[in-house]
Amino acid sequence: MHPITVYFLAMNTLAFLFNGTDKWLAVRQKSRISEKMLLGLALTGGSIGSLTGMLLFRHKISKASFLWKFFGIVMLQLLFVYFIWKS
């Protein structure tokens, strides 16, 4: 398997698990995973895993400030992919 594929699978798995863990911690009113960490995982290649975790666990889907940042990251990633493929 190509190293980039392994990297993206790992990042998306981590992002998914971190979203699920943060939701679990939130329900139990425990110390939480920071939004900076969740957004960082999305930024570094885990946006699909993050989105899947957000939807499956119903986590962070009603917090507008988080969603704006998250979808800003997704838009930057889409622009990056577009310009890579275009060149």
Across 64-74, average pLDDT: 98
Across 22-41, average pLDDT: 98
Which pLDDT belongs to residue 27? 97
Does residue 87 register a pLDDT over 90? no
Across 9-33, average pLDDT: 98
Q: Do 38 and 22 meet the contact criterion of CB atoms below 8 Å apart?
A: yes
Provide the H-helix boundaries in the chain.
3-27, 35-41, 47-57, 64-86
Domain count, the chain: 1
**Backbone angles phi and psi of 28, in degrees to 5:** -90, 5
Does residue 31 register a pLDDT over 90? yes
Q: What pTM, to 2 d.p., does this model score?
A: 0.92
**Crossing angle of helices 47-57 and 3-27, rounded to 10°:** 30
- Cα separation, 38 vs 82, in Å, equals 24
37-66 per-position pLDDT tens digit: 999 999 999 999 999 999 999 999 999 999
Does residue 26 register a pLDDT over 90? yes
Number of Cβ atoms within 10 Å of the Cβ of 48: 16
Q: Is 57 helix (H, G, I), strand (E, B) or coil?
A: helix
- Residue 75 sits in which domain range? 3-86
